[in-house]
Amino acid sequence: MHRTTRLLLSAATLALAASPALAADSTDPIMIPTHNWSSQIVMSNVVGQMFESMGNSVEYVSTDSQAVYEAVRLGDATLELEVWEGAFGASFRSALEKGGLHDVTTHAAITREDWWYPMWTKEACPGLPDWKALNDCAALFVTPETGDKGRFLGGPVDWLKHDAEKVEALGMNFTVVNAGSAAALWAEIAAAEKDKTPIVLFNWTPNFAEAVWPGEFVEFPAWEDGCDKDPAKGPLPDKVYDCGNPANGYMKIAAWDGMKDKWPTAYAALQKVNFNNAQIAEMAKLVDIDGMEPEDAAAAWLAANEAVWKPWTE
Ligand code: TMO
């Protein structure tokens, strides 16, 4: 073969081998939604800064944590990094049914979100963690705001939408009061700790809190798929929400269906993103205990964990 032809051919082969680079990512920003709990904001910044290290442009949008599934379905937000089964499974499933977003991958983390108490509460109510024992102890949780009912301190209203339905379905002597923010939950635990006042509130794992306040989740009737929709599921034949949240829940990543064509390189990296419980608890700790800003926490996490995330970008 003529030398020039051979050179041209190998140049063509090289161009073909490099063809993924021809389908370059759009220069439009990847829209990353952030919510109102620390690990999600830090993780969003971690993955956003990872995309930036690959040459992508990123924008963060503060978004309601239930409405985000509709936003991702329509492509207004590009992805969601923390789809917690307990709080968001229902919104995620209904968006999947409508179409436009998909399940990209599942983190290694096993999650739980439910009624929880710090250990001193059990000294006052020794039958815990059983929910019936909690219900018999309702008087310990009475506040001026809740009259003769015990107070369950729920998270911000956009998280779990069905605590009140659970109280109603199980006939509990409790009233749900929603905290305005995650920070308000931690402040209430810290205040209760001073004189060991019994408290039952919404909490989750992985989170920084488990390293600060030993505690337990209340054991409700076990979650069954469909318990939120089908009265036949759960122990009571005529009630929905007669069950706890999943005790071994998933945490998924969801993305807009158009992401893989618009930002193929970033999408390939996203498919490899995977965090475990310890990593997610650490992301929350950097903000909630160490007091860092989320973007600084993300930069610190990336600097300390190159061996974890660099391979995702290659
Ligand atoms: C939605 N959350 C992880 C705070 O339970």
d(CA 204, CA 250): 12
Give the C-alpha separation, 252 to 110, whole Å. Answer: 10
Ligand 1 lined by 131 (C-beta under 6 Å): no
Q: Which ligand 1 atom sits closest to the C-alpha of 113?
A: 5
C-alpha of residue 26 to centroid of ligand 1, in Å: 32
The pLDDT score that the predictor gives to residue 22 is 56
pLDDT at 2: 52
Q: How far is CA 138 from CA 1, 100, 125, 151, 175, in A?
A: 89, 44, 9, 8, 10
Residue 161 has a pLDDT of 78
Q: Is the CB of 85 under 6 A from ligand 1?
A: no
Is there an atom of ligand 1 within 6 Å of 263 CB? no
Cα distance between residue 286 and residue 294, in whole Å: 8
Q: Is residue 204 in contact with ligand 1, taking CB distance under 6 Å? A: yes
Q: Specify the ligand 1 atom closest to the Cα of 37.
A: 4
pLDDT tens for the chain, residues 1 to 314: 455 445 454 554 554 554 455 579 999 999 999 999 999 999 999 999 999 999 999 999 999 999 999 999 999 999 999 999 999 999 999 999 999 999 999 999 999 999 999 999 999 999 999 999 999 999 999 999 999 999 999 999 999 878 999 999 999 999 999 999 999 999 999 999 999 999 999 999 999 999 999 999 999 999 999 998 999 999 999 999 999 999 999 999 999 999 999 999 999 999 999 999 999 999 999 999 999 999 999 999 999 999 999 999 99
Domains belonging to the chain, first-starting first, are 28-110+249-313 (3.40.190.10), 112-217 (3.40.190.100)
Q: Ligand 1 center to residue 203 CA distance, Å?
A: 8
Query: 85 alpha carbon to ligand 1 midpoint, in Å?
Result: 9
Atom of ligand 1 nearest to the CA of 84: 3
Q: What is the position in ligand 1's atom list of the atom closest to the CA of 155? A: 4
